[in-house]
Amino acid sequence: MRLGVLDVGSNTVHLQIMDAHHGSAPLAHQSFKEEIRLAEFLTDSGEISPSGVETLLQTLTRLKNQTRDIQIDETLAFATSAIREANNSEAVLQAVLDETGIELQVLSGEDEARFTFLAVRRWVGWSAGDVLMLDIGGGSLEIARGDQEVPKFSTSVMLGASRLTRQFLSGDPFSEKSLKKLDSHITTTIAPLKSAVGDISKCTAIGTSKTIRTLRRIQENYLPELGRDLTLEGLAAITQKLQAMEHSKRAALPGVSNSRANQIVAGAMVALKTMQLLGIEKMTQCPWALREGIVLQRLDWLKS
């Protein structure tokens, strides 16, 4: 069957159309993505501003028009951190339904972690054993661990790269004072999770998301001898380089877009501090993430 997965995230609105059948890997058919940075429309009172709502409605309408002639059996539409945390989330969801006919389901942070973990487990296979997953998004960081398809531990914390950049970082290059404040905040948030995550010495560490992919490409560019996995050693070195760079120089790096260049420092700092505090020496990047997990879960439900 052909499924559409509409993901309204903190940075992008992404409609991915997949050919999916139970027992086989979902295959991408077409993909439509627009970067609207919805989280940046949050007001001081915690609401998505009228201009943000209008931008979202226009984007969803364009996506519907672009895909009008594509036969889709079912569309799974969901929203994550930006809408989940907005004080006017119900009004935004109702406006989307009224104007576009799209009924967005808001995922909890734990749902995000569980669906992404399912995708990772299916991708790495059972031979990976006990898996520890990190997913750094625009608004939140998801962590999950387990040796089955349902994680034994899963959580979501508000350590998204876009969110932290807006909240903490200033200057070009970013000031030492703002970097130190961010580092302290990340440490304070991650450190209490160590005991709950447990001893990960025998875990296979897997990273998903554009942030992890971008950091791995930067490491390959600067330190190719470290291989294809993102290592603690390599990440520490490139994080220091990224922190010292001006925006224009970060944007010129391989795999770093102009918009991504602003938040890659915060993303690198989250990845580095999480690896340090949890004891992760290296992390393999998984190309599957939340959207694939939702498709796989839907196929499982249809079969049962």
Return the CATH number at 241.
3.30.420.150
Q: What is the pLDDT of residue 23?
A: 87
Nearest to 207 by CA among 267, 157, 252: 267
Nearest to 77 by CA among 171, 129, 146, 7: 7
**Contact, 279 vs 200, CB < 8 A?**
yes
Encoded tokens for 257: 């877009």
91 and 206 in one domain?
no
Q: How many residues does the chain have?
A: 304
Give the Cβ contact number of residue 279 at 10 Å. 15
What residue type is 179 in one-letter code? L
pLDDT at 251 over 80: yes
Does residue 159 fall inside a structural domain? yes
Does residue 299 fall inside a structural domain? no
157 and 92 in one domain?
no
Q: What percent of the chain has pLDDT over 70?
A: 100
Does residue 41 fall inside a structural domain? yes
Distance CA 234, CA 49 (A): 40
Angle subtended by helix axes 109-124 and 290-303, to nearest 10: 80
Number of domains composing the chain: 2
196 and 57 in one domain?
no
- Give the end of a domain, one of 106, 138, 162: 106
DSSP string, 45-110: TS-B-HHHHHHHHHHHHHHHHHTTTS--SEEEEEE-HHHHT-TTHHHHHHHHHHHH---PEEPPHH
Interval 39-97: pLDDT, tens: 999 999 999 999 999 999 999 999 999 999 999 999 999 999 999 999 999 999 999 99
Interval 9-38: pLDDT, tens: 999 999 999 999 988 899 999 999 999 999
161 and 248 in one domain?
yes
Average pLDDT of the residues of the chain: 96
**Contact, 275 vs 143, CB < 8 A?**
no
Encoded tokens for 24: 């086989």
**Contact, 113 vs 289, CB < 8 A?**
no
Return the CATH number at 7.
3.30.420.40
Does residue 193 fall inside a structural domain? yes
225 and 100 in one domain?
no
Q: What is the pLDDT of residue 22?
A: 87
Does residue 158 fall inside a structural domain? yes
137 and 77 in one domain?
no
**Contact, 269 vs 239, CB < 8 A?**
yes
pLDDT at 157 over 90: yes
Does residue 302 fall inside a structural domain? no
Interval 100-109: pLDDT, tens: 999 999 999 9
Q: What is the pLDDT of residue 258?
A: 86
pLDDT at 304 over 80: no
250 and 138 in one domain?
yes
269 and 132 in one domain?
yes
- Give the end of a domain, one of 79, 106, 133: 106
Q: What is the mean pLDDT of residues 100-120?
A: 97
Distance CA 285, CA 228 (A): 9
Q: What is the mean pLDDT of residues 157-181?
A: 97
Nearest to 119 by CA among 302, 300, 304, 303: 300
Question: CA 284 → CA 40, 199, 242, distances in Å?
Answer: 30, 18, 21
159 and 274 in one domain?
yes
Q: How confident is the model at residue 303 (pLDDT cuts 50, 70, 90)?
A: confident
136 and 165 in one domain?
yes
Q: What is the pLDDT of residue 231?
A: 98
| Domain span at 63 | 2-106
pLDDT at 148 over 80: yes
Q: What is the pLDDT of residue 279?
A: 97
269 and 133 in one domain?
yes
**Contact, 37 vs 27, CB < 8 A?**
no
DSSP state of 173: T
CA 95 to chain centre: 25
175 and 229 in one domain?
yes
Does residue 11 fall inside a structural domain? yes
pLDDT at 270 over 80: yes
Distance CA 99, CA 94 (A): 8
Does residue 58 fall inside a structural domain? yes
